[in-house]
Amino acid sequence: MASSILALIFASFLYCSSVDANYRRNFLIRESEAEADSIANTKYRTAYHFQPLHNWINAWLGQDGLWRIAIGAEIGLKGRALLYKSEDFMHWVQAANPLHATNRSGMWECPDFYYLDGKERKYVLKMSLAETQSDTYMLGGYDEDKDVFSPDDTSDDYSIWLRYDYGKFYASKTFFDEKEKRRVLWGWVNESDNIADDVTKGWSGIQSIPRVVTLDPNARQLVQWPVKELELLRRKQIDLHEIELKKGDFVEIEGLKTPDQADVEVEFELPNLETAEPFDANWVLDPPKLCHEKGSLINGKVGPFGLLVLASHNLKEYTSISFRVFKYDKGYQVLMCSDQRRSSLRAEVDKPTYGAFVDTDIKKDGKISLRTLIDHSVVESFGAEGRACITSRVYPTSVVRGDPHIFTFNNGSESVKISKLKAWNMARARIS
Ligand SMILES: *[C@@H]1O[C@H](CO)[C@@H](O)[C@H](O)[C@H]1NC(C)=O
Ligand SMILES: *[C@@H]1O[C@H](CO)[C@@H](O)[C@H](O)[C@H]1NC(C)=O
Ligand SMILES: *[C@@H]1O[C@H](CO)[C@@H](O)[C@H](O)[C@H]1NC(C)=O
């Protein structure tokens, strides 16, 4: 890597994305309804996820009447958000100091800067790290006079920075919805198959379902939840209650016409946490690795339990979204995994394992919730009411063959109870 590059990503003004070999793949845009219809008939079509259209700029007005905008940059491996000011939105002058910079984090793309009010006001500085292809963020304060953001957590180790989504989710942007008084986030979710597939499909890359972003009451992290408008697409509803899942059980959620185009909300009650496996402090740095080693296949004590989606009837293919609880001196550690390893019989697609720790008080609550949006080749999961989000792209041959199923499962020795489960067929969104 060149030692001292000042890379201003003016592309972020317009597209907020990386300009690299993937460029060809990123911007195939639906232009007309007719085209949308033809796209909808291709393999792994998405019904309520869209191709990316365009992004927007986030500028903010200071008390001095000047507009401000943050631009991502890398200077000698130091990622930074440069600050520019303007009176008229036409002429921009760089401020002496960046809004924020850290050592070693590499190129920051698509910075986003906004605040959220909870018990106290928190500013959010989001950067898309080119190095890890992940959207990370910091919470902190903002000194309006000095134009400096100061994060609550000052760690330079970007591998442990908070992430919007612990799966595929990049180059995201937020906007403030004046009408509903909410901050809405959406991000780009790229494909996990290959360029030849893109050509066959006629499209590549989608936008996540827009999410409302709020501050967790503990002010340590953000919480995300799909916008309520998505619920307008819900059709037939399945309601299940009080299902006990013993070790090795899996129960199909029957009755959905389109299990490959569905919205599932489930709440798991954990009657006994006492036997949870001990947590090794070394695991804290790499939850995806832990998910890889202790995925749904490996029996545990409290968990793994969760959902198997886009599953074939004989479970030759499935994507599992699961939780596993560990005990350590200060309490419990909850691991959430989205495991794509068995998602497709196709060998040539990328099938990673994603994972995150969920900041939730499992001891107090005695339960944990999961919402998963399933859309043919997209699986977006929200753990513990949106405290941990994982999005993945999968290419099950069962979908193409018309054999998709959804199961709940438990592979832990402690029984878990599904206190309630709701699932809906989802209608196709219309683009006008
Ligand atoms: C970043 O690196 C510089 C030297 O390049 C050092 O002086 C500074 O203390 C470092 N900052 C942090 C937060 O480690
Ligand atoms: C897109 O996905 C591929 C395969 O999953 C991955 O290797 C690549 O880094 C991704 N690219 C971007 C820009 O996210
Ligand atoms: C549960 O564990 C068994 C035995 O390890 C394994 O064969 C099975 O595939 C696992 N179930 C899931 C859903 O991974």
Q: Is 214 in the pocket of ligand 3 (CB under 6 A)?
A: no
Q: Which tens digit of pLDDT belongs to each residue from 304-349?
A: 999 999 999 999 999 999 999 999 987 999 999 999 999 999 999 9
Give the lowest-confidence range in 32-36, 283-287, 371-375: 32-36
Distance 362 CA to ligand 1 centre (A): 38
pTM to 2 decimal places: 0.89
Please name the residue ranges forming H helices in 313-378: 362-365
C-alpha dist (Å) from residue 146 to 73, 108, 117? 20, 22, 21
Q: Is 190 in the pocket of ligand 2 (CB under 6 A)?
A: yes
Class of domain 238-426: mainly beta
Domain ranges for the chain, please list them: 3-226, 238-426
DSSP string, 262-275: EEEEEEEE-S--TT
d(Cα 379, Cα 295) in Å, to the nearest integer?
17
> Kind and range of the H or E element at 397?
helix 397-401
The total of other beta-carbon atoms located within 10 Å of residue 179's CB is 5
What per-residue confidence (pLDDT) applies to 41? 53
Q: Is the pLDDT of residue 28 over 60?
A: no
Q: Is the pLDDT of residue 4 over 50?
A: no
Looking at ligand 2, which residue's alpha carbon is closest to its atom 11? 190
Residue count of the chain, please give it: 432
Give the lowest-confidence range in 106-115, 194-203, 204-213: 194-203
DSSP string, 175-238: EEETTTTEEEEEEEE--SS-HHHHHHHT---EEPPPEEEEE-TTSSSEEEEE-GGGGGGEEEEE
Q: Are 322 and 299 in contact (CB under 8 A)?
A: no
Strands 250-252 and 211-215: unpaired
Pair of tokens at residue 169 = 């989710």
Looking at ligand 1, which residue's alpha carbon is closest to its atom 5? 103
178 pLDDT tier (thresholds 50, 70, 90)? confident
Distance 410 CA to ligand 3 centre (A): 9
d(Cα 411, Cα 421) in Å, to the nearest integer?
19
Q: Is the pLDDT of residue 149 over 80?
A: yes
b/e per residue 364-398 (b: at least 16 CB within 10 A): eeebbbbbbbbbbbbbbbbbbbbbbbbbbbbbbeb
d(Cα 415, Cα 405) in Å, to the nearest integer?
23
> Kind and range of the H or E element at 151?
strand 148-151
C-alpha dist (Å) from residue 151 to 70, 123, 141, 198? 16, 9, 6, 40
d(Cα 364, Cα 417) in Å, to the nearest integer?
16
Pocket, ligand 1, Cβ cutoff 6 A: 103, 156
Q: Is the pLDDT of residue 29 over 60?
A: no
d(Cα 81, Cα 74) in Å, to the nearest integer?
9
Whose atoms come closest to the Cα of 76: which ligand?
1
Rg, C-alpha atoms of the chain: 22
What per-residue confidence (pLDDT) applies to 43? 63
What per-residue confidence (pLDDT) applies to 292? 97
Average confidence score pLDDT of the chain: 87
Ligand 2 pocket, mutate which of 107, 133, 198, 207 (most atoms under 8 A from CB)? 133
Q: Is 333 in the pocket of ligand 3 (CB under 6 A)?
A: no
- CATH superfamily of domain region 3-226: Glycosyl hydrolase domain; family 43 (2.115.10.20)
Task: Provide mean pLDDT across the span 72-79.
Answer: 88
Phi, psi angles (nearest 5°) of residue 323? -120, 155
